[in-house]
């Protein structure tokens, strides 16, 4: 069986998207009367015949929002399993999706696969998108959790892909196996999220902080024979790009063993900071993949991590040491993605 890496053509997209660095996304306006949102619409798959401001599908609710909107619009989603592909187009920013009963009760699922640009259950293209309390699932590979994997070919199957700048996800879930979460470009913040997969399941060239997130390695569930996968595949292309993945606190656990990351770009950058590692972390920790000989250009680091998987004795020799406070402080949430305080202006508070 061949475990496929993310498709090569994606590199062209990433080069175009990230060449200009962090985008200059607008700030969304609050509603009238001091409200953080201009108005609210509702999605309830069991509501019967929809009416004004009430929809049976999430995509229909998004379609109702006018393009080039510059005020926060809240989409309240009632509990249920929504079997649909959902896409927020680039001209519809300032959207706040909220599953009102949390991610365990509100999920969006689909079984697209093969192409990374077509398979995602959820696609968010614009700047200024906030999501809270929703699970995004690609069920394609997950159907094979039966212990009989000999004749099964794992395929790329994305749960979500995130393009826009200033995108934040709170208490969300991302379920898949290969390429679960495509963190494409822009500044992104993931707080208290659950992310699972086995191969390259957090990948792309975003500039992102994952804070207090639970990372579930499932390589051992589908491949009990001892295959090793990869948690991250970060695609930073040059030393001038501000991109990278920073994991603060949280936990890495699961079944089997995964590398913490492999290089999806010649300047790949991933930092785990005070994270708990269960025994699922491969002893070598990191993989140069197609960039052997350029290891000195990577920024792969583990700072203050603990747990049985945090022993660095057998780690690759080229893993970076960030021992000084100034070295790690530049990867704090405020310094790395929140330079203009956009997180404080989100409509959650």
Instruction: Establish whether 200 is a catalytic residue.
Output: yes
By C-alpha distance, which of 334, 331, 338, 335 is closest to 299? 331
How many alpha carbons fall within 13 Å on the CB side of residue 293?
1
The Cα–Cα gap between 194 and 83 comes to 20
333, β-bridge pairs = none
Convert 235-285 into a string of H (helix), E (strand) and C (coil): CCCCCCCCCEEEEECCEEEECCEEEEEEECCCCCEEEEECCEECCCECCCC
pLDDT at position 25 is 80
Residue 145 — very low, low, confident or very high, per pLDDT cuts 50/70/90? Answer: low
| CB count in 10 Å sphere of residue 313 | 5
**pLDDT tens per residue, range 214-272:** 999 999 988 777 789 999 999 999 999 999 999 999 999 999 999 999 999 999 999 99
Residue 152 — very low, low, confident or very high, per pLDDT cuts 50/70/90? Answer: low
Q: Is the pLDDT of residue 50 over 60?
A: yes
Residue 153 — very low, low, confident or very high, per pLDDT cuts 50/70/90? Answer: confident
The CA angle 285-291-293, to the nearest 5 degrees, is 90
Sequence-distant (6+) residues with CB within 8 A of 237 are 11, 14, 15, 18, 205, 265, 266, 267
What average pLDDT does this structure show over 285-291?
Answer: 97
- The CA–CA distances, whole Å, from 149 to 1, 128, 152 equal 9, 41, 5
Domains in the chain: ranges and CATH: 30-153 (2.160.20.10), 219-339 (2.160.20.10)
The Cα–Cα gap between 220 and 226 comes to 7
pLDDT at position 33 is 65
One-character DSSP codes across 284-338: T-EE-GGGTT-GGG-EEEEES-BSTT---TTS-TT-----SHHHHHTTSHHHHT-
Q: Does pTM top 0.85 for this prediction?
A: yes
By C-alpha distance, which of 177, 174, 91, 97 is closest to 130? 97
Q: Is the pLDDT of residue 306 over 70?
A: yes
Choice among 23-32, 76-85, 124-133, 160-169 with the minimum mean pLDDT:
23-32
What average pLDDT does this structure show over 73-85?
Answer: 97
The Cα–Cα gap between 261 and 314 comes to 15
Q: Which of 127, 165, 183, 200 is catalytic?
A: 200
Q: Is the pLDDT of residue 139 over 90?
A: yes
Instruction: Establish whether 296 is a catalytic residue.
Output: no
Residue 47 — very low, low, confident or very high, per pLDDT cuts 50/70/90? Answer: confident
Q: Is the pLDDT of residue 16 over 60?
A: no
Residue 20 — very low, low, confident or very high, per pLDDT cuts 50/70/90? Answer: very low
**pLDDT tens per residue, range 176-207:** 999 999 999 999 999 999 999 999 999 999 99
Residue 26 — very low, low, confident or very high, per pLDDT cuts 50/70/90? Answer: confident
Q: Is the pLDDT of residue 149 over 50?
A: no
306, β-bridge pairs = 276
By C-alpha distance, which of 6, 2, 14, 1 is closest to 262? 6
Q: Which of 127, 165, 179, 258 is catalytic?
A: 179
What average pLDDT does this structure show over 144-160?
Answer: 70
């Amino acid at each position: 069986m061949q475990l496929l890496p993310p498709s090569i053509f994606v590199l062209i997209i990433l080069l175009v998207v990230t060449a200009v660095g962090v985008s200059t996304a607008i700030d969304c306006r609050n509603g009238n009367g001091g409200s953080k949102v201009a108005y609210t619409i509702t999605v309830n798959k069991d509501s019967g015949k929809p009416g004004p401001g009430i929809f049976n599908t999430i995509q229909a609710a998004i379609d109702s929002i006018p393009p080039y909107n510059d005020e926060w619009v809240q989409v309240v989603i009632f509990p249920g399993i929504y079997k649909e592909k959902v896409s927020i187009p680039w001209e519809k920013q300032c959207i706040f999706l909220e599953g009102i009963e949390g991610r365990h009760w509100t999920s969006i699922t689909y079984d697209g696969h093969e192409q990374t640009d077509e398979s995602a259950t959820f696609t968010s293209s614009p700047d200024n998108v906030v999501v809270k309390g929703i699970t995004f699932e690609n069920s394609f590979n997950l159907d094979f959790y039966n212990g009989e994997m000999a004749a099964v070919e794992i395929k790329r199957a994305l749960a979500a892909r995130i393009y826009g700048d200033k995108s934040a996800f709170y208490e969300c879930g991302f379920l898949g196996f290969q390429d679960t979460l495509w963190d494409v470009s822009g500044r992104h913040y993931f707080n208290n999220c659950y992310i699972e997969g086995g191969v390259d399941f957090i990948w792309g060239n975003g500039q992102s902080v994952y804070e207090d997130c639970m990372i579930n390695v499932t390589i051992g569930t589908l491949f009990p024979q001892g295959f090793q996968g990869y948690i991250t595949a970060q695609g930073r292309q040059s030393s001038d790009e501000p991109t990278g993945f920073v994991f603060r606190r949280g936990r890495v656990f699961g079944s089997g063993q995964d590398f913490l990351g492999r290089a999806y770009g010649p300047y790949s950058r991933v930092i785990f900071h005070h994270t708990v590692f269960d025994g699922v972390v491969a002893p070598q920790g990191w993989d140069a993949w197609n960039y052997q000989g350029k290891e000195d250009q990577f920024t792969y680091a583990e700072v203050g991590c603990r747990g049985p998987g945090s022993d660095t004795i057998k780690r690759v020799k080229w893993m970076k040491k960030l021992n000084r406070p100034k070295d790690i402080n530049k990867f704090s949430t405020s310094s790395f993605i929140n330079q203009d305080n956009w997180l404080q202006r989100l409509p959650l508070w």
